[in-house]
């Protein structure tokens, strides 16, 4: 397995094109390079000036290296009226985050925007999953910009995949020895044929996992999985409902 890390590799395997009106909380976290800006990670709008993402997406960065885009389906299309591109004023990483520890604990961070977003049909604030909530046994939806297969060309358009949440015990059993606990949330489709299992991989890091009726709750933030994107192991997320106090106080 590998830590999902920011960079130009972006994949949701065996996914379908998403609808921005269904995922108006989706954000693209972009990094600056010598060649310009590129999409590195996903994120979720949790306030008009706050984006929730994975700690490893913003670790070691300064505010001048990061920007956020919302209200966008196609990252490389001509500018559209409802797209908003916003700079960053500050970055917050959970003090308990440990990149090299087993299970990559507390992989959660907040991006503060330099000005507040305008809310619309295509830009909305996500509902955080309630404390103690579990959606095990039901399907959740993961979204991001990326590949439809491990060796396929990168898609510039937002993709989604629906995949069942599994219990923490099952996730521990399938990963055999990784330090997975209640602060993680895992998805895995044991029913899908090998090779056709949906999966989140590198570059969809930090992106939202929505669960519950009509997928209305932000339950997870994409953290890590396997680099092969096979879907043969669970994808692992930071469980948002375990960090509500931290989010509120930051």
Give yes or no: 107 in active site: yes
| Cα–Cα distance measured from residue 213 to residue 206, given in angstroms and rounded to the nearest whole number | 22
Give yes or no: 56 in active site: yes
| Cα–Cα distance measured from residue 27 to residue 43, given in angstroms and rounded to the nearest whole number | 5
| 198 within 8 A of 15, measured Cβ to Cβ | yes
| 184 within 8 A of 234, measured Cβ to Cβ | no
Which string of b and e fits 181-214 if b means at least 16 CB within 10 Å? eebbbbbbbeeeeeeebbbbbbbbbbbbbbbbee
Residue 38, exposed/middle/buried by CB under 10 A (0-12, 13-18, 19+)?
Answer: middle
28, 155, 199, 205: the active-site residue: 205
What are the phi and psi torsion angles at 179 (to 5°)? -85, 75
Give yes or no: 205 in active site: yes
56, 94, 155, 189: the active-site residue: 56
25, 107, 189, 241: the active-site residue: 107
Positions marked active-site: 56, 107, 205
């Amino acid at each position: 397995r590998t830590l999902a890390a920011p960079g130009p590799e972006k994949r949701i395997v065996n996914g379908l094109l998403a609808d921005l009106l269904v995922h108006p909380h989706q954000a693209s976290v972009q990094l600056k390079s010598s060649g310009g800006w590129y999409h590195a990670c996903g994120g979720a709008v949790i306030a008009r000036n706050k984006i929730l993402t994975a700690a490893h997406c913003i670790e070691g960065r300064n505010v001048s290296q990061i920007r956020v885009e919302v209200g966008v389906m196609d990252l490389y299309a001509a500018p559209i009226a409802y797209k908003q591109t916003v700079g960053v004023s500050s970055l917050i990483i959970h003090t308990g985050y440990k990149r090299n520890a087993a299970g990559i604990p507390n992989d959660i961070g907040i991006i503060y925007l330099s000005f507040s977003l305008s809310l619309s049909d295509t830009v909305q604030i996500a509902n955080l999953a309630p404390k103690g909530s579990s959606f095990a046994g039901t399907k959740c939806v993961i979204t991001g910009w990326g590949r439809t297969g491990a060796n396929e060309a990168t898609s510039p358009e937002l993709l989604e995949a629906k995949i069942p949440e599994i219990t923490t015990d099952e996730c521990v059993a399938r990963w055999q020895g990784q330090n997975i606990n209640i602060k993680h949330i895992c998805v895995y489709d044991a029913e899908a044929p090998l090779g056709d299992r949906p999966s989140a991989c590198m570059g969809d890091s930090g992106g939202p996992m929505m669960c519950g009726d009509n997928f209305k709750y932000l339950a997870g933030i994409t953290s890590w999985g396997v680099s092969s994107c096979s879907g043969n192991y669970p994808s692992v997320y930071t469980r948002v409902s375990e960090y509500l106090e931290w989010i509120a106080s930051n």
